[in-house]
């Protein structure tokens, strides 16, 4: 067993608060606009309210054709966000111990170099 393997096997279960693992993730998805008029143009007050309620609880498909671009944008966002969340879980569970091991070994190497020169 290599030292890196040993350190990775003994990494903390959760990433430490000051460790940046976001460099191993794609950027988080951007949320579509909350106001449906930005994607669908002029809408009645009732349609704006329908869209606002749907975003809060999208348990049904909207049957309103004028809100279809809004519904499509949010459905695409949620799909990408699910993928991003899954990727974050993979980083957290599978890659994090190796990030930890590399960081520990880097600190160890810096300390060894300083001791040799100091």
What are the pLDDT digits (tens) for 3-32?
A: 999 999 999 888 776 666 667 777 889 999
Structure tokens at 46: 């009732």
Per-residue pLDDT, 118: 62
pLDDT tens digits for the chain (118 residues)?
799 999 999 998 887 766 666 677 778 899 999 999 999 999 999 999 999 999 998 888 788 999 999 999 999 999 999 999 888 888 777 888 988 899 899 988 886 777 677 6
| Rounded-to-integer distance, Cα 99 and Cα 96, Å | 5
- On whether the CB atoms of residues 100 and 8 are closer than 8 A, the answer is yes
Distance CA 101, CA 9 (A): 9
Residue 109, pLDDT score: 82
CA distances from 34 to 51, 84, 87, 98 (A): 9, 20, 25, 39
Rg (CA), the chain: 23
d(CA 38, CA 40): 6
């Amino acid at each position: 067993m290599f030292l890196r393997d040993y350190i990775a096997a003994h990494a903390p279960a959760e990433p430490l608060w000051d460790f940046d693992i976001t460099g191993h993730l794609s950027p988080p998805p951007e949320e579509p606009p909350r106001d449906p008029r930005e994607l669908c143009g002029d809408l009645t007050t009732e349609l704006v309210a329908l869209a606002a309620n749907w975003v809060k609880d999208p348990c049904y498909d909207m049957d309103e054709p004028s809100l279809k671009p809004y519904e499509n944008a949010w459905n695409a966002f949620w799909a990408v966000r699910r993928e991003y969340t899954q990727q974050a879980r993979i980083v957290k569970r599978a890659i994090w111990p190796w990030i930890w091991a590399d960081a520990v070994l880097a600190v160890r190497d810096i300390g060894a170099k300083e001791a040799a020169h100091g």
